[in-house]
Amino acid sequence: MQPSSIMQTTASASFPDLNLFSKALPGPKNPDQLKAPFADLFQDALHTVQDLDQKASTAVEGLLDGSGVDVHSAMIAVGSADTAFELALSVRNKAVAAFQQMMSMQF
C-alpha cells in the first residue's frame, strides 16, 4: 500500500468525537452541592488510618493475651494499618513539597 493511500484511508475513516472539552463534565450544577473539599477528605482518611491503627493494636494485644486472636488476623491488621499510614504519609509529603515549591516561586 502506498503512503498516500494510507493517508486517504485514514482521512476518510470516521473517528468518534474526541474533543472532551466540548462536552459538559458530569457533576453538580450548583457549587453548594460539592461533596467535600480536600481538607475534609484528608481528615476522613486520617480518621480511617487512626481506626486501622486502633484495630491493629487491639489485634496484637489479643494475640499476646491469648484471647483467641490468631496470628494471621493480627498480621493482616498490622499490615493494613501500615499500608494506610504509608499512604497518608506520602500524601502529606507531596502536599508539603507542593507548598514549599509554591512558596519558592517569584511573582
Share of the chain above pLDDT 90, in %: 52
CB 74: neighbour CB atoms within 10 A? 18
What pLDDT sits at residue 10? 46
pTM > 0.75: yes or no? no
491488621: which residue's cell?
A: 77
Whole-number average pLDDT of the chain:
78
Average pLDDT over residues 72-84: 95
- In the numeric block, which cell numbers belong to residue 107? 511573582
Q: How confident is the model at residue 27 (pLDDT cuts 50, 70, 90)?
A: low
Contact 28/36 with Cβ under 8 angstroms?
A: no
The CA–CA distances, whole Å, from 72 to 60, 66, 106 equal 11, 14, 53
Share of the chain above pLDDT 70, in %: 66
